Structure 1
């Protein structure tokens, strides 16, 4: 079982795979329509069980806490385990959400959606075929203490160091769309001085958004104007008659780290 001293702050981290693909609903209203996605060799199906809506990108914050706890334990030389423990208060403080009764209720609802969301994807291919899993195998809250059991593959991925640190300001992003874009930008641009770029039709497909393409372009333009992604700058180039391309790169004055990531390959 993994647990850490309360006095030691932990850095937000997330698995790289969870930053590139449409595993979560971006809407604050319940999404019951499954995500059925195919791009190249990547196939995935994400849906809630029975009448339960699928997990949202805000629910994924709980996974960020769990992954960050595992990474902190690994960095301290502790053996890793898919069994993660911490107080509900510590989770809310880590996510900078406040500690009202409504926040606790939303945290419990998020845990339920993570446990009730079923994912089948070729990203976790085995000899028997595509792997199916739920984000949380089991969870229990008792006297304010939270016990989680995560999928073994997730724990193994942390052991392989397939994670990236996140800017803590990510938790202040209120829109599902801008949260999704930050994670994708962080994954692909990293700390590379030249950043990265995607054409908008490719980005729209990669998001698995239910919004039509013109609305998607509107949201991208809005975020470029707002310049709200922590640590990054966005630039949209749309020459007349050409496909618009979104460029993103680290902003030296606000980026929280000073080193350069290894080259990141698009997938």
Structure 2
């Protein structure tokens, strides 16, 4: 049994809904909270939005910043909680999920490596801290507020030492998104996206384009929202590869060039079909 901190005395919510769709919290979709690289990122990262004045400092632990693949745990839990709310079931920040069910529904393998990855993800989710002037309701405060993603994590093994189920306590900051209706449904095909670039682009398209016919964003702004440390030139090259691949569920993506220079200026997103 691996414990990450002392548990809070809360009622236990059992995540046992088979057909629950994954859900994302709006702040974790808007801001580059999660690292999109699978390499450990132990350096603090700061995001600034010069237009709105919003800022966020992401402070990793010694184990690294939580990754966008680690985020699958939160997407799974929010999906379970939202569907339970629709069915009139009581909710709790303390969630128990069967490890096998999580791996299957997030399109992962079920070998020893995948089970160990769950525990590693819990460590990064628990260890990553944020300081921001963004309020729960979306406004800005004069002072920063500090919060985490989960307050507690526990990987429970059976008598043979195999990971059986996981318990987490979602932070109050994120859990508030349920009552404030600050969540959006993800296409389950999201879990089939293998790279961090694909996943980050999908959630930006989902939040900003949604059910609109189209959405455009300048490349410097897009680069900032991705939260990557690579140069703008390398970033353009990576996004260009995604445009050629066209792997983003629900959306078609296009590049818009400056007519005078031919330099990529904007990304245009067009919705394929109406999203539920």
Give the TM-score of the pair, scaled to structure 1: 0.89
Work out whether 1:216 is the aligned partner of 2:235. yes
Aligned to 1:11: 21
Query: Which among 166, 184, 187 is matched to residue 164 of structure 1?
Result: 184
Is 1:240 aligned to residue 271 of structure 2? no
Partner residue in 2 for 1:42: 54
Work out whether residues 198 and 248 of structure 2, in 8 Å CA contact, stay in contact via their aligned partners in 1: yes
Partner of 2:105: 94
| Structure 1 position 234, deviation (Å) | 0.6
Give the distance between the partners of 2:260 and 2:57, measured in 1 at CA.
35
Structure 1 CA distance for aligned equivalents of residues 217 and 16 of structure 2: 41
Cα 1:214–1:140 change in 2 (3 A) is same
Three-state SS of the structure 1 residue aligned to 2:39 is coil
Do 1:138 and 1:148's aligned partners in 2 also have CA atoms closer than 8 Å? yes
Runs (4+) of structure 1 exceeding 6 A deviation are 125-128
Question: d(CA) in 1 for partners of 2:34 and 2:239?
Answer: 19
The one of 197, 220, 231 equivalent to 1:201 is 220
Where does residue 23 of structure 1 map in the other structure? Answer: 33
1:124 aligns with 2:145: no
Does the 8 Å contact 1:74/1:159 carry over to 2? Answer: no
Contact 2:216 2:269 in 1 (8 A): yes
Alpha-carbon offset, residue 56 of structure 1: 0.5
Aligned Cα RMSD in Å?
Answer: 1.8
CA offsets 1:138-177 (integer angstroms, 9 cap, x no match): 0112231211111112122112211111011111111111
- What's the offset of the Cα at 1:32? 1.3
Match of 2:149 in 1: 135
> Conserved in 1, the CA contact under 8 Å of 2:58 and 2:128?
yes
**Partner residue of 2:174 out of 131, 150, 154:** 154
Aligned counterpart in structure 2 of residue 107 of structure 1, from 118, 124, 130: 118
Q: Contact (CA 8 Å) 2:25, 2:177: kept in 1 or not? A: yes
Counterpart in the other structure of 1:77: 88
Residue in 2 that maps onto 1:265:
none
Aligned to 1:2: 13
1:173-212 deviation per Cα after TM superposition (whole angstroms, max 9, x unaligned): 11111111111011111111x2211011111122222110
- SS for the counterpart of 1:2 is strand
